[in-house]
Amino acid sequence: MQTRSPLSAKLARCGRGLTAGLVALCLAVSTAGQALAQSLPVVRDAEIEALVRDYARPILKAAGLGSSNINIVLVNDQSFNAFVAGRRMFINTGALVTSETPNEIIGVIAHEAGHIAGGHQERLRQQLARAQTMAIVATLLGMGAAVAGAAGGVGGVAQAGGGLAMGGAEMARRGLLGYQRTEEVTADRSALDYLEATGQSARGMLITFKRFASALSLSGARVDPYQVSHPMPRERIANLQTLAEASPYFNKTDPEALQLRHDMMRVKIAVYTQGQGAAARIFRKGSGGLAAQYGDAIATYLYGNPRSALQKADALVKANPKNPYFHELRGDILVKANRPAEAAQAYASAVKLDPAKSGILRVAYGQALLATGKQESIEKAVDEINKGLERDRENISAYRYLAQAYGQLGQVAEAELATAEGYFYSGVYKEAKVFAARAQMKMKRGSPAWVRAQDIINYKQPGKKKG
Ligand SMILES: [Zn+2]
């Protein structure tokens, strides 16, 4: 049922080198007893993460969750889903592409924040908050897929999660992910408060929920996980509408600059996940402007001629020299064209201009430096990748490049520790411990690196009983 897009093709061969831009990670899941590898389509992208974080920040603050340091996790899945678990907010790329305005996705974030603030699903959230790695998250996502599959009776969807863990499916059947009707009403009320407090309209939330409440979406072949976990009876929508319309901000629209960032995000996801023609489908009203131009440049980078892609990226940079992601795209194109030194320069500009200080851009910069093969550049690559990881410890592919860079510099212990970290954050603890132990033998006892290796060796998986 799902079309194989370039991104999903990339995902299918996770573990090999991936280019920058939308970086896909592989997560391995180990369940009680047996290790069971399963790749999870988590997408890393500096631009999208920064935007979604900008959407979430004021809402979380209004919800009293401003200091809880919520991570945004993007899931490469075309169905609509968004949920918060532990310190992590999961948003499917499908939800981002479907939402035509920032306000629509902000409304969903507000509703999810209402669930956290209300302490709904507290037990599950506590488990997730304790989890040190993404492995548990993968289990949860598998569970979500199983829920959707079971509810919709769609074999393909059920298979996506069904292979993960019987325990997960069982938990899902008990409705661990689904919210109670009373919790939905509470979350709606809270969401309205947060939107009011931040001077935003609840119209977007209403639009999203109406879409799910409509008979049309229920009779369709695909059931979105969001619909399954958030029951939406008509009376709930009607109440919400009355309250939303009472707000003085109901008719307020998103700032133009934010809408542009949103359009650029949508077109990027669409082109990556749905192919070359996707940009045109999003901007069918012919109102694309800069976002359409961006989509065209990305499509040319992915599917076309690098020289032409570079010209298009140059034009974007010329039109808007302060946009870090236009420089990032230039970097991506130059990497693909096997011009790593110039790519490094482009990424350096992106890093410098990025207000969100994303670790992803630093790692891309480091990766390009590494590709030049020059001793001096490799030393700088180590520095940049480490800086990127300081911002973002769970950037799994970064550890691979780091290990490679250390290896080329002859720093074997550091290379082994980086490999151990990569396995650790992938949830492959056994391998992580093996590499940590190897690294430790070459390290000075009690040094920071030695202590970190010891932490990995001593790590006990949450929820795992013995061994
Ligand atoms: Zn809900």
Percent of the chain clearing pLDDT 90 (strictly above)? 54
CA of 119 to the centre of ligand 1 (A): 12
What pLDDT is attached to residue 282?
78
Instruction: Fill in the DSSP letter of residue 85.
Output: E
CA of 188 to the centre of ligand 1 (A): 8
CA of 124 to the centre of ligand 1 (A): 15
CA of 336 to the centre of ligand 1 (A): 42
Provide CB contacts within 8 A for 311, sequence distance 6+. Answer: none
CA of 257 to the centre of ligand 1 (A): 29
176 pLDDT tier (thresholds 50, 70, 90): very low
For 371-401, the DSSP string reads HH--HHHHHHHHHHHHHHHHH-TT-HHHHHH
Cα–Cα distance, 225 to 151 (Å, whole number)? 9
What pLDDT is attached to residue 222?
59
Mean pLDDT on 328-340: 98
Q: Are 294 and 267 in contact (CB under 8 A)?
A: yes
Half-sphere exposure (Cβ direction) of 8: Cα atoms closer than 13 Å: 12
Structure-model confidence comparison of residues 90 and 374, the more confident one: 374
What pLDDT is attached to residue 336?
96
From 80-89, 123-132, 332-341, 344-353, the region with the lowest mean pLDDT: 123-132
Structure-model confidence comparison of residues 307 and 17, the more confident one: 307
Cα–Cα distance, 182 to 144 (Å, whole number)? 21
Given a cut of 80, is residue 258 above it in pLDDT? yes
CA of 171 to the centre of ligand 1 (A): 18
Mean pLDDT on 66-77: 79
CA of 315 to the centre of ligand 1 (A): 43
CA of 20 to the centre of ligand 1 (A): 34
CA of 53 to the centre of ligand 1 (A): 20
Torsion sign, CA atoms 455, 124, 208, 70:
negative
Given a cut of 70, is residue 125 above it in pLDDT? no
Cα–Cα distance, 25 to 74 (Å, whole number)? 11
CA of 118 to the centre of ligand 1 (A): 11
Cα–Cα distance, 417 to 403 (Å, whole number)? 8
Q: pLDDT tens, 418-427?
A: 999 999 988 8
What pLDDT is attached to residue 412?
97
CA of 182 to the centre of ligand 1 (A): 10
CA of 112 to the centre of ligand 1 (A): 6
- Highest average pLDDT, of 191-200, 209-218, 272-281, comes from 191-200
182 pLDDT tier (thresholds 50, 70, 90): confident
Chain mean pLDDT for the chain: 80
CA of 307 to the centre of ligand 1 (A): 47
Q: pLDDT tens, 84-111?
A: 766 777 888 999 999 999 999 999 999 9
Cα–Cα distance, 464 to 31 (Å, whole number)? 8
- Highest average pLDDT, of 82-86, 179-183, 289-293, 370-374, comes from 370-374
Q: pLDDT tens, 198-233?
A: 999 999 999 998 887 765 544 455 566 677 677 777
What pLDDT is attached to residue 413?
97
Cα–Cα distance, 442 to 151 (Å, whole number)? 53
Percent of the chain clearing pLDDT 70 (strictly above)? 73
What pLDDT is attached to residue 464?
56
Q: Identify the H or E element spanning 60.
A: helix 46-62
Mean pLDDT on 398-409: 97
Given a cut of 80, is residue 358 above it in pLDDT? yes
Structure-model confidence comparison of residues 333 and 20, the more confident one: 333
CA of 80 to the centre of ligand 1 (A): 13
CA of 9 to the centre of ligand 1 (A): 32
41 pLDDT tier (thresholds 50, 70, 90): confident
Q: Are 217 and 148 in contact (CB under 8 A)?
A: no
Say what the pTM is: 0.82
Given a cut of 70, is residue 252 above it in pLDDT? yes
Q: Which long-range contacts (CB under 8 A, 24 or more apart) does 194-197 make?
A: 194/59, 194/62, 194/63, 194/110, 194/113, 194/114, 195/59, 195/106, 195/107, 195/110, 195/247, 195/249, 196/247, 196/249, 197/62
Q: Identify the H or E element spanning 88.
A: strand 88-92
What pLDDT is attached to residue 109?
94
Given a cut of 50, is residue 16 above it in pLDDT? no
CA of 104 to the centre of ligand 1 (A): 15
What pLDDT is attached to residue 361?
97
Nearest to 114 by CA among 167, 42, 45, 186: 186
From 204-218, 293-307, 354-368, 374-388, the region with the lowest mean pLDDT: 204-218
Mean pLDDT on 343-358: 97
Mean pLDDT on 268-281: 87
